[in-house]
Amino acid sequence: MSNTDNDRPRRQSGARGQGPDPSSDQAGGARADRAPVCRNGGAVDVTTAETLLEAIPDLVFAHDLEGRLLAVNTAVTRILGYDCAEVVGRSITEFLSEDQQARFVSEYLDPLINRGSFEGTVVVLAKDGARHWLECRAGLIRPSGGAAFFIGSGRDVTQRVMEGKKLKALQQELAELGKRRTLATMTGGLAHEFNNILSVILGNAELAKIDLHPWNPSSLFLEEILQAALRARDVIRRLLQCSGLEQSDRKPLYLQDLVEDVLRVLTDKLPAGVRICSELAELTSAVLADPTEIRQLLLQLGTNAIRAMAKSGGCLLIAVKEVTVSAEQAAEHLELKPGAHLELKMTDQGCGIGEADLARIFDPYFTTSPTGQGNGLGLATVRGIVAGHQAAIFVESLPGSGTTFTIYFPSSDQAPDQWAKDAAGRVRGAEKILLVDDENALVDIGKQVLDRIGYRVVATNSPKRALELFRASPDDFDLVITDLTMTEMPGDRLAQAIRAIRPEQPIVISSGFSASMVRERCICPQIDAFLEKPVSRNILAAAVRQALDKVPAN
């Protein structure tokens, strides 16, 4: 039969009766009658035809010009998870994935009608939601004296497709891993260089500030330089964390000190009519926390509060105090644990938050801010930081009445590091120290800092010269401080050689690399302290005193 335009079958919208009845001879597959099927001039019993269809492992199906299923074999129902009665009479689109439903007519029915055949991959959805990839072929059937319909077959290639997807995913993962390793190596190297530069900036600014009277106006400028250098150090550490080279740095600290630092930053961005008030008691309790994460938390909550008061004005009150959570309070709030806590409370007089939004404010990507003023991740990040510190956060708000965030941080039994309260004056000494760093500027700064707090310092930029000095009089040096990454001889090898001469020799290693990277690379792990550059005067002084006193240093 010629395939002219007049002969080509046509779909008729809504004409579901155009195809053969599912129980007729023309449909094939699952049927109720037992009329003979003509084949090669003979007659084959319908039971035999159905047996042949059921014996085929592939899926066999028939449908009309609109895509309504007329007959299927057991392989189809097995894949889909439906009974035959649940499948026959329904449109094929009901079993397709959403993306293929939209393309069903253009990519499947139209080729069948216009060309009389189809060959391609179809993704079907089973009753349980599972996806199956089928390689399908379908063709036009023109029975004598009956309506045209289509019959097709399909083979389940899901396993092959999934294996291909897994292989592709594995290849992508390996490629991504390679990129991450390259990025990590580059980030680690850059961090090392930047930390050395920051060490020079930080050290010189501290020395200059010491030489000035406290009321000298230049002291304020030097303090800004110091704070900027410390913030730059924290940024570098955050980059190392993102690269997988640095773990969260938890240590005992005074929460009110961090609040004071952040207050200075927030004050610089206050719009007209907005002010900040603080109630920071002189607390003796510390918290075990990552200072960078706590600063991020404070900045996020403070920035949100300032935005909420931008139009109406008002006061942002930040308060820190010591509280004790009772067993009854902990029973009412599962996030809390009984015991001593530091309570951080931030209250604004802004527009407030409605009840519906209040239940979602910690959801990722949820924001009530105008477009361009928030990405919806701020409070989700805050909650993550709170959870990571085993703390608890609560929020109270009413529209037009402002908002209060209250966070309870568990108090730490550990005392904050001495340098947290500018304790250089309490960590003086008179011992003899061998200082080694191949950066001349860092050698000079380190020597001046240690000289000014009473130590007798022998400084050199040559690790080989340092080894000669130590070998000549090993009992003269109470402590050795060495950089790790030096061209002439790495610091860990120098430490190893010194320990071979005097096993009990106290040693401190400093590096622009992160602590985790040093632990992986260092061949002399038994050191008394590690200093991550840039090192402030107070940190250096406290670490030296701790190493000399055999007190574990941070």
Which run of H or E residues covers position 471? helix 463-472
Taking every pair of C-alpha atoms in the chain, what is the biggest distance, in angstroms?
116
Which run of H or E residues covers position 78? helix 74-80
Closest CA to 203 of 512, 461, 538, 435: 538
In eight-state DSSP terms, residue 96 is: B
Q: At the top level of CATH, which class does the domain 255-412 belong to?
A: alpha beta
- What is the amino acid identity at position 418? Q
pLDDT by position in tens, the chain (length 554):
444 444 444 444 433 334 444 334 444 444 434 333 333 334 334 455 566 677 778 899 988 888 899 988 989 999 899 988 899 999 998 998 877 888 888 888 888 888 888 888 888 989 988 889 999 999 988 888 778 888 899 999 988 888 887 777 667 667 756 766 776 677 777 887 888 888 889 888 888 888 887 778 888 888 888 888 888 887 777 666 555 555 556 788 889 888 988 988 888 778 888 999 999 877 778 898 888 889 989 999 999 899 889 888 999 999 999 999 988 787 777 678 899 999 999 999 998 888 878 777 877 666 665 545 554 457 877 887 888 788 988 999 888 889 999 999 999 877 665 444 444 445 678 899 999 999 898 899 899 989 988 999 999 999 999 999 999 999 999 999 999 889 999 998 999 999 999 999 999 998 887 665 666 666 555 778 888 888 788 888 888 888 888 744 43
- Return d(Cα 439, Cα 486) in angstroms, integer: 9
> Is domain 18-156 classified as CATH 3.30.450.20?
yes
> Encoding tokens for residue 512?
């622009």
Where does 421-548 sit in CATH, by number? Answer: 3.40.50.2300
Question: What is the separation of C-alpha 534 from the centre of its chain, rounded to a whole number of angstroms?
Answer: 26
Q: Are strands 403-412 and 339-348 parallel, antiparallel or unpaired?
A: antiparallel
51 contact partners, CB below 8 Å, separation of at least 6: none
pTM attached to this predicted model? 0.43
Q: What is the DSSP string of 169-180?
A: HHHHHHHHHHHH
> Encoding tokens for residue 461?
């930029």
